[in-house]
A = this chain, B = another copy of it.
Amino acid sequence: MQPYELTATEAAALIAARKLSCEELARSTLARIEERDPVVRAWSYVDRDMVIRKARELDKTPPASPLHGLTFGVKDVIQTVDMPTQQNSALYVDHQSGQDAACVAVVRHSGALIVGKTDTVEFASGGRMAASRNPHNLAHTPGGSSSGSGAAVGDKQVQLAFGTQTGGSHIRPAAFNGIYGIKPTHGAVSREGAKNYSHTLDTIGWYGRCVEDLQLVAREFRLLDAEFAKPVQIKGLKVGLYRSPAWELADAYAREALFEAGRRLEAAGAIVTELTLPAGFDRLDDAQQIVMRGEGRGAFLPDYLGPKRHMLAQHFLDIVGNSTKITPAKLVAAYDLAAECRRTFDGMFGADLDVVLTPSSPGEAPEGLSSSGNPVFNAMWTLLNVPCVGIPVGVSPRALPLGIQLVGPRYSDSQLLEIALACAPAIHVKQDGKLTPLKAEVSAMA
């Protein structure tokens, strides 16, 4: 096994035991990137010499955190002091931000090795797509807008990576690339230094290759419920299987994947029941669009007013120009609906419900790179501000990864990761390192 193949958790143990040096891990990682980047194109920037130099520096320092020396990719809408932040925009070619974003600073102080910047949809919004491809099938998108981060972790080019989610930009790529991801409670992790799109929605998340990897990073952020989180037994865990208002848009095999995940949890001892949510939840997807575009007007105004407006995709001119005619009344109604549903949703947890199980996407990663997929199974959770953990569940009839997400109430991030830790072995059944096909896939392929 090459060092690049190690999960973050495995590598951390070897580094702590001095059985693996940061430089060895870095060189293995860089070799993997060199081999694969010509086809996967996950990266917008990697400075090979700097990575090795920083790895050597880390080898001279005693580890202060389990993140010491672990390899980290950073979505290129997130600022880094030592690398450009280009946002996949012609306006920001080679742009140097002058500082690390808050999330980068936190993991860097913990000793993480920032390997490079990963490609993104323009400003993590729309317009120019990332060049990244799905490592499981190069003809397909890795999803977006956290395209490169999802692809890089999915292709074992890096152990951990930051993404962002405003609609479905983080959890959907987790599913498409067969990896784990957390979108924490909105506000639990500072997004200072990441491109702003919508202050109500923008959330920093991270990817890993297992739940333990996600937990390694979560601990560094000192989440508010960390001291209250307790280990979870899957036996008796109350799981609410929620089809979501977008159910009709899901492919048959994706629906089956959700039910299969439910069956697997049930077989492991969980109590799985179908969850229904009040009527207002059906309007959250529309409300998310209104909030995102209404707040996006201010976010893109500076570049719209600047001398290089012609370098912005039409998408941004439409947002600033309010092409969807958002009014103060519509925006305020969207906020108030979200607030009401947040309270209702959180209130459902307790005696009858521990966690929600729901699709991460309508199906596999679409073919081609012109669409990064539909965020319709993600947007409502982003607007609810609740934490979501994406877990791989199997593969589609075309052998592309499928995922589900577990969702908890606001500020239960650490507890949700404990639940995910208990559930993942049941949901994510691997055989010889491959995802197990679902029964539905077998029948579809037969």
The closest CB in chain B to the CB of A294 belongs to: B224
Asked if residues B190 and A302 are in contact (CB atoms below 8 Å), the reply is yes
Asked if residues A302 and B109 are in contact (CB atoms below 8 Å), the reply is yes
List residues 177-200 of chain A with CB under 8 A from any CB of chain B: 187-192, 195-196, 199-200
List residues 297-343 of chain A with CB under 8 A from any CB of chain B: 297-299, 301-303, 305-307, 320, 322, 326-328, 331-332, 335-336, 339-340, 342-343
The closest CB in chain B to the CB of A309 belongs to: B109
CB of A23 closer than 8 Å to a CB of B: no
Q: A190-B301, A192-B195 are in contact. Are A224 and B97 (CB under 8 A)?
A: no
CB of A133 closer than 8 Å to a CB of B: no
Asked if residues B410 and A302 are in contact (CB atoms below 8 Å), the reply is no
CB of A295 closer than 8 Å to a CB of B: yes
Q: A97-B98, A305-B106, A328-B228 are in contact. Are A298 and B189 (CB under 8 A)?
A: yes
For A411, the chain B residues whose CB sits under 8 A away are 328, 331-332
What is the minimal beta-carbon distance from A198 to any residue of chain B, in angstroms? 9
| CA gap between A303 and B224 in the complex, in Å | 18
List residues 216-239 of chain A with CB under 8 A from any CB of chain B: 220-222, 224-225, 228
Q: How many copies does the complex hold?
A: 2
What per-residue 1/0 map shows which CB atoms of A94-105 lie under 8 Å from chain B? 011111101001
Asked if residues A200 and B225 are in contact (CB atoms below 8 Å), the reply is no
What is the minimal beta-carbon distance from A100 to any residue of chain B, in angstroms? 7
A–B pairs, 11, beta carbons within 8 Å? A190-B298, A192-B195, A199-B199, A222-B301, A222-B320, A224-B326, A224-B331, A331-B411, A335-B339, A335-B410, A339-B342
**Residue ranges of A at the interface with B (Cβ–Cβ < 8 Å):** 95-100, 102, 105-106, 109-110, 187-192, 195-196, 199-200, 220-222, 224-225, 228, 294-295, 297-299, 301-303, 305-307, 320, 322, 326-328, 331-332, 335-336, 339-340, 342-343, 346, 409-412
Going nearest first, the 7 A-B pairs with the smallest beta carbon separation are: A98-B98, A339-B339, A328-B411, A105-B302, A192-B196, A109-B305, A190-B298
Given A221-B298, A224-B331, A328-B412, 17 other A-B residues pairs in contact with their CB atoms under 8 A: A102-B196, A102-B302, A106-B302, A109-B305, A109-B307, A189-B298, A190-B299, A190-B301, A190-B302, A191-B196, A192-B299, A222-B297, A328-B410, A331-B411, A332-B411, A339-B339, A339-B340
